[in-house]
Chains A and B, each alone.
Chain A
Amino acid sequence: MAEMYPSIPQCAALATALKVLLMPAYHSTDFEVHRNWLAITNSLPLKEWYYENTSEWTLDYPPFFAYFEWTLSQMASFIDPAMLQVKNLGYDSNATVYFQRSTVIVTELVLAYALHLFIKSTPPSNKKQAHAAALSILLSPGLLIIDHIHFQYNGFLYGILILSIVLARKRSGLLASGLIFAGLLCLKHIYLYLAPAYFVFLLRAYCLGPRSVFDIKIFNCIKLGVGIGVIAGLAFGPFVYLGQMPQVLSRLFPFSRGLCHAYWAPNVWAMYSFTDRVLIYVAPYLKLPVNPGAIQSVTRGLVGDTAFAVLPDITPRMTFTLTLAAQIPALLKLFLQPDWQTFVSTLTLCGYASFLFGWHVHEKAILLVIIPFSLLALKDRRYLGAFRPLAVAGHVSLFPLLFTAMEFPIKVVYTILWLIVMLLAFDRLTPASEKPRVFLLDRFSLLYIAVAIPLIAYCSLVHQVVFGARYEFLPLMFISSYSALGVVGSWVGFLVVFYT
């Protein structure tokens, strides 16, 4: 098998260079969040970790992530001890910035390694496609924007997720895959959204025999159960022992937050809010009752309770039910057909369901859909057709995360570059489908992609020139409604591919 170029290490090297250059770029409050966690885990005893609240950015990730921060903080003390003081709010000396940025870059090696394994585990006939998919994830503008500018550790975490997905490819790797996923859940609990797929897959493929549902593999069940138990024990054991579980859980699941996050993730609720917003003007003609108190809060879309003026309010229970309802058909299919492809498809659909219907979804959670989907996008042209609008919408929806003038060209140019190179490469490499395609979808996606350019231009330049600081919610709303359309469209497309 000939080598494929550019290889993963070559791309990683060039991307790393760019990421190092980005070190002094804008970083969001998440930078301070993580610095604060370094300080908390380093300077306080374990029993105070989940109680400490000097900073407003309290520790709200599961314990493995706290241990991870503790490990980093051991190195940080050699770089600049001042960053490890809890009272040093907003501290960002050059050394601190360089240190934290380099931890993101270095831990992302996990992702590169996982992608390398992914290519290795692919059968030779599909290696080229796998290689392209792997590069698209490694060079993802989503990761660049969120991790290397905005500041988070997604590259590391998604690396672990992909590692787990790759291991699930072989029967012998199922146990390790499940355990690694359990570990991932103890690092960041957002992956709970994907847990149903893991649960069903491991249950069917690992705990039950291949021929019959009643052929229960007791020994496998014990191995998996004990393994997960040990991991959960390592993570939460100390806090159970200290009797702090209610406090930990209240930190991990803050249901007091609103339906929509500060910047309206492009999901069903963004479309719902947009409709509500439009209805405010239309309601008087339709003789609908308007809740006057809600008008302000919808326009601002800030964290907190979102009230709707015309449409009925949404409760967390409703979102939860909808999410589950959207997941169940896929899970049933996975149960009946527990192969790796279906598993990854189901993971993608779980990601879709939780992103589209979840409570207080961050726009960053779109990676939960894009990354598993990337592994499938080159399977055949029908998958690619559904992937295209997602690739555009998902990344455009991340643009409002960065609002500084200096970073504007970086996010736009990098995303356009990635879209051109990757979509061209995907287009060349994806084989034709055995089943007929729905051509309407192709037209839709082309039109959709074309609209992105004037939209970005309007939101970043024209709006400011025309309106100045007025109606500042308008660009955000346009972007999220536009992206929501793309995400929902690609979801529908994917559903068609998955069930037919």
Chain B
Amino acid sequence: MPSTPSSHKPRKKRRADISSNSSNGTVAIDVQSKQEKPAFPLVAFFWPARTATSQWVILSCIFMVVGLFRWCTAIWPYSGYRKPPMHGDFEAQRHWLEITVGLPMTHWYFHDLQWWGLDYPPLTAYHSWILGKVGSLINPDWFALYLSRALDDADLKVFMRATVMVSEYLVYVPAVVICGRHMARLHNINPWELSIALTAILMQPATMLIDHGHFQYNTVMLGFVLASMSNMLAGRPLWSCVCFVAALGFKQMALFYAPAVAAYLAGSCLFPRIRLFRLICIAATTLASFALLYLPLLLGTLYDNRRNVPLPTDIQLPPLLSALPFDLAESAWYYPYVLQLAQSIHRIFPFSRGLFEDKVANIWCAIHSSGVHKLHNYSSSLLSRAALGLTLLSILPPCTIIFFKPKKVLTPLALAVTAWGFFLCSYQVHEKNVLLPLLPMTMLLASEGGMKPSTRAWVGYANILACWTLFPLLVRDGLRIPYFVLSLVFAYLLGLPPVSFELYTASATPDGAGLHWFAKILHLGTYLACIAWHVVEAFFLPPTNKPDLFVVANVCVGAAGFGVCYLWCLWRLLSESGILQDLGLVKKEKLDDDRKRQ
């Protein structure tokens, strides 16, 4: 829609207001007509809103648009739809609703592990319990104990999809908006550009495909992480701890971020001056949050003990408990509580599983399956130690930087680098975990210059590549078409390949916001590889002796690309932290620039 209001209404803001301080790379100048134009299609959709439009109207429209895309993805099949014997993640989540509603609390973490036993932290269990209670009100058959296994009723699908949607709109979406606002304040970005960035963040294809297509509740955990980050930006470290514990308590994968969060919080107590009281408060809040997290489970144990509900007869003592150097008396009053704690931790961290699951674009899988070096010759303890060592090595630089330079502007980058490090090097990684490093990296769109070609190209690159590495998983779920639609929509909106090559053909801009030629080659090479891979995958079958050839190719390209993303984020972190200036590696003027920025 055209943008100027008609003459009869007074405008609140002049158009020039917004354009003049549009520092963020959304508005370009047309070479011929010298007129302003949107730098990429997403901006065009916000063009009419450049003049006074209530932020609340814009925000609610954004919610509706991204909601429509999510719900339309939800129409498609989910993981494990009509796939006996084990079905998939949908059944896992549904089953948790079933057992939390149907079993006494003490049985939750002891119930049959083989059929999707509960192996997420307690907050997921409580969440499942609430959803299960609501669902049972609508239709008690959906979550009937034992009888509802592998149910795939059409109405059940609608209910479950709606629970993902509601959970996301209660946690993730507000967190994105609030976090975006804090970033905008920090980087001096106008509300109009923030709206554009928020839309881009909410349209991340990988997150939508995994949560609303494949079926999971990742956005709840991601939302808590963002809430934690936004509290850091707002200077409320204690709330940040609470939110981060909530994230950990919902899905243990939030551990990917933990070192960076810990380093930032610790660093903020020591630099620029030592604040011991703050450190104590942070430690105490964290402990209290964990206690609060486990409180319902322990109260449930108390209640079950009072009622004399026996544990299942076939339970095994959690190894954590048997590994204790001293024996615990079974008759002791605290024994049932310790048992529950030990069992839940045992379930949440299954150290006995393999190095990686399925085919995932991380270093280990790439090394192993590409045939460079077969890893199954080594013992699993050696491998896990190697993974641990490499992970520590990869997260050491970002954590060190954020520890010594605990600046607010650095938090998204620090979280991103650490999560990339974990994703690439650690133990027990799923392909879906790529969502974790993606989120803070995508949040960079709401930072200064975030939508200028230099950053937008990299954020887009990581998102498109991540989505592409999920393709084999999505095809198994019957989500081929949503994959293409959502990733192309994202590429189109942000002006990325394969829809638009404008970012790569334009010459470097005077303010240095263009892309380095090396990055251009790297990106274009990867995009070309992805497109070629899709063509080959569509028209050829893999050779019979190498049935996984295409997946392996996908994994190797993905791992390489993610490695580059890790390095880019690390470089950004390093250059923005000011450490280089401190060490005298960069000239002084830039330092002053940076000082001003803070």
Q: Is the CB of A10 within 8 A of B69?
A: no
Cα separation A413 to B481 with both chains bound (whole Å): 23
Known: A21-B482, A430-B6. A10 touches B41 (CB 8 A): yes
Q: Is the CB of A425 within 8 A of B64?
A: no
Closest to B47 in A: A5
Return the CB mask of B1-25 against A: 1 if under 8 Å, else 0: 1111111110000000000000000
Q: How many A-B residue pairs have CB under 8 A?
A: 112
Among A11-19, A42-50, A74-82, the one that faces the other chain is A11-19
Q: Is the CB of A409 within 8 A of B71?
A: yes
Q: Is the CB of A424 within 8 A of B57?
A: yes
Among B32-40, B188-196, B456-464, B519-527, the one that faces the other chain is B32-40
> Is B93 positioned at the interface, with any CB of A under 8 Å from its CB?
no
> Is A215 positioned at the interface, with any CB of B under 8 Å from its CB?
no
Cα separation A398 to B489 with both chains bound (whole Å): 28
Interface, chain B (partner A; CB < 8 A):
1-9, 33, 35, 37-38, 41, 43-45, 47-48, 53, 57, 60-61, 64-65, 67-69, 71-76, 154-155, 157-158, 161, 481-482, 485-486, 488-489, 492-493
> Is A240 positioned at the interface, with any CB of B under 8 Å from its CB?
no
Among A22-30, A290-298, A332-340, A341-349, the one that faces the other chain is A22-30
Interface members, chain A 429-478 (any B CB < 8 Å) = 429-432
Closest to A405 in B: B158
Interface members, chain A 121-149 (any B CB < 8 Å) = 127-128, 131-132, 135
Cα separation A192 to B301 with both chains bound (whole Å): 74
Cα separation A13 to B42 with both chains bound (whole Å): 12
Set of chain A residues within 8 Å of B61, measured between Cβ atoms: 417, 420-421
Cα separation A414 to B61 with both chains bound (whole Å): 10
Name 16 interchain pairs, CB-CB below 8 A, sorted by A.
Answer: A5-B47, A14-B489, A21-B485, A21-B486, A98-B481, A132-B1, A132-B2, A135-B1, A405-B155, A406-B158, A413-B67, A416-B64, A417-B65, A424-B57, A425-B48, A432-B6
Q: Is the CB of B5 within 8 A of A429?
A: yes
> Is A401 positioned at the interface, with any CB of B under 8 Å from its CB?
no
Q: Is the CB of B485 within 8 A of A17?
A: yes
Set of chain B residues within 8 Å of A425, measured between Cβ atoms: 1, 48
> Is A6 positioned at the interface, with any CB of B under 8 Å from its CB?
yes
> Is A20 positioned at the interface, with any CB of B under 8 Å from its CB?
yes
Closest to A416 in B: B64
> Is A317 positioned at the interface, with any CB of B under 8 Å from its CB?
no
CB distance from B420 to the nearest CB of A (A): 29
Closest to A130 in B: B2
Query: Which residue from B8, B47, B75, B161 sits with its C-beta under 8 Å from A21?
Result: B75
Q: Is the CB of B7 within 8 A of A431?
A: yes
What 6 new A-B contacts, CB under 8 Å, besides A17-B489, A135-B1? A10-B45, A24-B75, A405-B155, A409-B67, A413-B68, A431-B8
Q: Is the CB of B72 within 8 A of A18?
A: yes
Q: Is the CB of B68 within 8 A of A18?
A: yes
> Is A71 positioned at the interface, with any CB of B under 8 Å from its CB?
no
Query: Which residue from A5, A417, A428, A429 sits with its C-beta under 8 Å from B68?
Result: A417
Q: Is the CB of A429 within 8 A of B485?
A: no
Set of chain A residues within 8 Å of B488, measured between Cβ atoms: 17
> Is A4 positioned at the interface, with any CB of B under 8 Å from its CB?
yes
Set of chain B residues within 8 Å of A131, measured between Cβ atoms: 1-2
Task: Sort A-B residue pairs by CB-CB distance and give the 5 closest, nearest first.
Answer: A128-B2, A5-B47, A21-B72, A5-B44, A417-B64
Cα separation A410 to B36 with both chains bound (whole Å): 35
Set of chain A residues within 8 Å of B74, measured between Cβ atoms: 406
Cα separation A483 to B157 with both chains bound (whole Å): 32
Q: Is the CB of A5 within 8 A of B38?
A: yes
Query: Which residue from A6, A20, A406 sits with its C-beta under 8 Å from B45?
Result: A6
Set of chain B residues within 8 Å of A98, measured between Cβ atoms: 481
Closest to B50 in A: A5
Q: Is the CB of A21 within 8 A of B69?
A: yes
Cα separation A24 to B492 with both chains bound (whole Å): 23
Set of chain A residues within 8 Å of B41, measured between Cβ atoms: 6, 10, 13
Q: Is the CB of A13 within 8 A of B492?
A: yes
